Structure 1
């Protein structure tokens, strides 16, 4: 047997997506595509045509396992899931390594860009290298924040500022910080 139809006036007053009929608590308004006419009201009935009303919806009971994964402390991030503390510490260490390398490259850029040294090709290379290392650090910071970690920056080591050497020359002595970084 088909469910009873609703009068056109009642159908026009009810929204087309979902509405409950006022007649019984177990009635449901079934949506229909726009322009296809009125929807239908269905009722759940058991033996003896009684309305079934024993359905209990408890969403928090169903989600209790997932809710236990949500951190309760205010200082913890909601995005942090399966992100081990050792991984967070390693990323923070790498961020600081990248910033120190950027600072050393920037020092080399400043030295080779001076008017009495005048090695513009070297200066350009070290400027680009400094920018690249800083970009690496910024990408790691974004990743750390995306995963719910905390970025902990340390102080940057002061790099050398004079790279002139009477025997080795400027360029070879300037290569020393690059070699030390690769170790």
Structure 2
């Protein structure tokens, strides 16, 4: 209970009529002065900031018992009124953010499916994004398959370009790893992975004019550019669906790396064009082989 209210009530009791008596108790001048000082001190020490709520000055107390009774009644009434809390009915609170946990939880419960074959984790994941990811998985696996065929070609005993074989083998693993990442992300978002058929790649990469090394490297550059364009298309699908999580996933895991791959293979193509089809191809192959050993 309010401390001021308790104090005022005790003072009020001194000025109320006695039981079975019609007269009011009277206060002497010294009692009035003492009462004024007591009230002033109490209000100043305990709840000084609310003293402006008083509707009469304390100096109004006098030796007239009837007047004191009326004045203290007014004092008691003013103390008993609760001052409204300016934040109590403000649903925005101090921060301006409305949070109603039970209401929001009740709405979110409707988002949890009860059908056993539906994902429980899926949220804000559009069907277009799910289909685009499955298409990208197929792209990554197809390119990995082509790179693996290139590895098998340069690893032949009558070709014996071990540096190129190692390079395309690692490229195949990298594209397959990309497919794996997309599969994991698909499951993480509550989608369904649907693997599609993979086309059979060519097994021969010799070219009458360019030679096998330059021809294979130009093909690799084309494949990296195709992959980059497919990733950009995938990102656009996510952006159109307002899926910022998927946009961040594609940006942070693939696009920057793809630009680096295009730059590196472009340099390889330029170098192979300089050395031609002869002895320079062997030196280029040795360079790739030592780069592979250094990376390992």
Calculate the TM-score normalised by the size of structure 2: 0.40
Q: C-alpha deviations, 1:105-146, integer Å up to 9, x for none?
A: 100000000001111000000000001110111011111111
Tell me what 1:144 maps to. 186
Post-superposition offset of 1:164: 1.4
Tell me what 2:166 maps to. 124
Q: 1:120 to 1:62 in 2, by over 3 A?
A: closer
Give yes or no for contact 1:104–1:177 (8 Å, CA) kept in 2: no
Q: 1:65 to 1:168 in 2, by over 3 A?
A: same
1:84 to 126, 145, 148: 126
Structure 1 gap ranges (5+): 1-59
- Taking only aligned residues, the RMSD between alpha carbons, in angstroms, comes to 1.8
Whose strand proportion is higher, 1 or 2?
1
Q: C-alpha deviations, 1:6-44, integer Å up to 9, x for none?
A: xxxxxxxxxxxxxxxxxxxxxxxxxxxxxxxxxxxxxxx
Structure 2 gap ranges (5+): 1-101, 227-296
Calculate the TM-score normalised by the size of structure 1: 0.63
Q: C-alpha deviations, 1:44-94, integer Å up to 9, x for none?
A: xxxxxxxxxxxxxxxx99843121101233221001111111111111111
State the secondary structure of the residue aligned to 2:170: helix
1:114 to 138, 156, 161: 156
Aligned pair count reads: 124
Q: Distance in 2 between matches of 1:141 and 1:110?
A: 26
Which stretches of structure 1, 4 residues or more, deviate above 4 A after TM superposition?
Answer: 60-63
Q: Does residue 170 of structure 1 match 2:212?
A: yes
Tell me what 2:108 maps to. 66
Post-superposition offset of 1:176: 4.3
Give yes or no for contact 1:100–1:156 (8 Å, CA) kept in 2: yes
Q: Does residue 161 of structure 1 match 2:203?
A: yes
Q: Distance in 2 between matches of 1:141 and 1:61?
A: 35
Q: Distance in 2 between matches of 1:77 and 1:130?
A: 32
